Amino acid sequence: MNQLVIVPAYNEAEVIRKVLTGLKSQLRKLGEFEIVVVDDGSTDETYQEAKKANVTILRHPINRGLGGALGTGLYYAKQKRAKLVVTFDADGQHDPKDIAKVISPILKREADVVIGSRMMKGAKKIPWDRRVIIWGSNLVTRLLFGVSTTDSQSGFRAFSRKAIQNIRIKTQEMEVSSEIFSEVRRLDLRVAEAPISVIYTPYSRKKGQSNLNAAAVLARLLLRLAR
Amino acid sequence: MSLILIPIQLFLLVFVLFALSRVYLRFREGTITLRTFLFWSGIWVLAILGVLQPQFTTWIARKIGIGRGADAVIYTSLVLLFYLIYRTNVLLENLRHEITELTRKIALEQETRNKKQRTRSKKHGD
């Protein structure tokens, strides 16, 4: 199995099983995929719930943040010499039906990194304060890394073998989203975007990146660059 | 040099000697490296000099074009403090990164073990 779906999860016991079931039924139509949950030191029943879905689970003994979890997933993919990786949020905000669209540029060898963008269609559905954050993050991404994207913070992405083998994740938390773009720039990877729908539920809003957090993420990102 | 110390000098002297003793003790038990030991010893010895002989700081201040010795001390301390805070931040960030690497290793090894166990139990037919 050389195609992976990485699902980073931290305290998602409430929804993870449903998300995994949804993923599985869609993936069956798309070929053979291995689902890899990275349980980032959850303190609830996330691990037990994911186990019931009969998927590969990489379990962090302590919480390391989104960057740490994605890094682990990508490292696993690299070891397995995967030819395709999809990252998919565990909180149920993504629609598994969009996977076909997100992986298509990779399968056609048109891109190495595909961003599933929440802003390309139905952006109106995204709460306005969140839209401001996304817009600001896109601006920072363009200023710092010279990559234009409509949704730099999206957790729904696809990576080609070249990207998987070469991208190195060093950040631990939400700034990983920006780090991926700095890697895109460093490695001169081809980027494409695919429109995805977003399912904002009270649950996923509560779990997502909080607005105030954005400033802290930016500060850490700048510290990294200034080192 | 007058041997009568005003209270602030006495207080500072006691504190600096205390700090210096800590540096020596940490070095002796091997917690800090020779470089760190020399750096901090240097800082505290300079501080003792400044406390006992305030003219010394004034002399340096004149040399580098600042009016008063106390000002020179404050400027240098501030620059040093900012730099040390920055260094600490970098160190912390590196530490966090290393912990993540360790966590990753543990997670991957656990998965390999689990996989082996699963294949074994499959072979035994249970």
Dist. CA A215–CA A33, nearest whole Å: 37
Predicted local distance difference test score (pLDDT) of residue A200:
74
Give the helix ranges, DSSP H, for chain B.
7-28, 34-52, 54-64, 69-123
Is residue A155 predicted with pLDDT exceeding 80?
yes
List the domain boundaries for chain A.
Answer: 3-226
Chain A and chain B share a number of CB contacts under 8 A equal to 49
Structure tokens at A137: 């993050």
Mean pLDDT of A135-148: 85
Q: What is the mean pLDDT of chain B?
A: 89
Asked whether the beta carbons of residue B108 and residue A227 sit closer than 8 angstroms, the reply is: no
Q: Does B9 touch chain A (CB under 8 A)?
A: no
Dist. CA A58–CA A67, nearest whole Å: 14
Predicted local distance difference test score (pLDDT) of residue A123:
65
Asked whether the beta carbons of residue A58 and residue B111 sit closer than 8 angstroms, the reply is: yes
Is residue B123 predicted with pLDDT exceeding 90?
no
- The DSSP 8-state label assigned to residue A119 in this structure reads S
From A180's Cα to the closest Cα of chain B, the distance in A is: 16
Tokens 């890899």 found at: A36
Q: Which residues of B touch A172 (CB under 8 A)?
A: 96-97, 100
Structure tokens at B17: 């000697």
Q: What is the mean pLDDT of chain A?
A: 87
CA dihedral (A60, A66, A69, A75) positive or negative: negative
Q: What's the pLDDT band for A170 if we cut at 50, 70, 90?
A: confident
Is residue A33 predicted with pLDDT exceeding 90?
yes
Is residue A29 predicted with pLDDT exceeding 60?
yes
Contact A158, A106 (CB under 8 A): yes
Q: Which residues of A touch B104 (CB under 8 A)?
A: 60, 68, 71-72, 75
Minimum mean pLDDT range among A60-64, A182-186, B40-44, B100-104: A182-186
Q: Of the candidates B89, B104, B111, which has its C-beta nearest A71's C-beta?
A: B104
From A47's Cα to the closest Cα of chain B, the distance in A is: 12
Predicted local distance difference test score (pLDDT) of residue A208:
58
From A146's Cα to the closest Cα of chain B, the distance in A is: 25
Burial of B118 (0-12, 13-18, 19+ CB in 10 A): exposed
Asked whether the beta carbons of residue B111 and residue A227 sit closer than 8 angstroms, the reply is: no
Burial of B60 (0-12, 13-18, 19+ CB in 10 A): middle
Predicted local distance difference test score (pLDDT) of residue A221:
75
Q: What's the pLDDT band for A212 if we cut at 50, 70, 90?
A: low
Is residue B1 predicted with pLDDT exceeding 60?
no
Express each pLDDT in B54-89 by its tens digit: 888 888 888 888 888 888 889 989 999 999 999 998
A76 C-beta neighbours (distance < 10 Å), count: 22
Mean pLDDT of A54-60: 94
pTM for this prediction: 0.80
Closest residue by Cα to residue A72 from B106, B14, B84: B106
Predicted local distance difference test score (pLDDT) of residue B126:
52
Taking only residues 48 to 107 of chain B, the set having a beta carbon closer than 8 angstroms to any beta carbon of chain A reads 89-90, 93, 96-97, 99-100, 103-104, 106-107
Dist. CA A138–CA A150, nearest whole Å: 6
Minimum mean pLDDT range among A119-128, B10-19, B37-46, B91-100: A119-128
Is residue B125 predicted with pLDDT exceeding 90?
no
Minimum mean pLDDT range among A179-193, A196-210, B96-110: A196-210
Asked whether the beta carbons of residue A72 and residue B89 sit closer than 8 angstroms, the reply is: no
Asked whether the beta carbons of residue A72 and residue B106 sit closer than 8 angstroms, the reply is: no
Mean pLDDT of B94-120: 91
Angle between helices A99-107 and A13-27 (to 10 degrees): 50
Asked whether the beta carbons of residue A72 and residue B104 sit closer than 8 angstroms, the reply is: yes
Contact A8, A79 (CB under 8 A): no
Global ipTM = 0.82
Is residue B39 predicted with pLDDT exceeding 90?
yes
Q: How many Cα atoms sit within 13 Å of A18 on the Cβ side?
A: 9
Instruction: Report which secondary-structure segment, H or E, holds A195.
Output: strand A191-195
Architecture of the domain spanning A3-226: Alpha-Beta Complex (3.90)
Closest residue by Cα to residue A195 from A97, A109, A110: A97
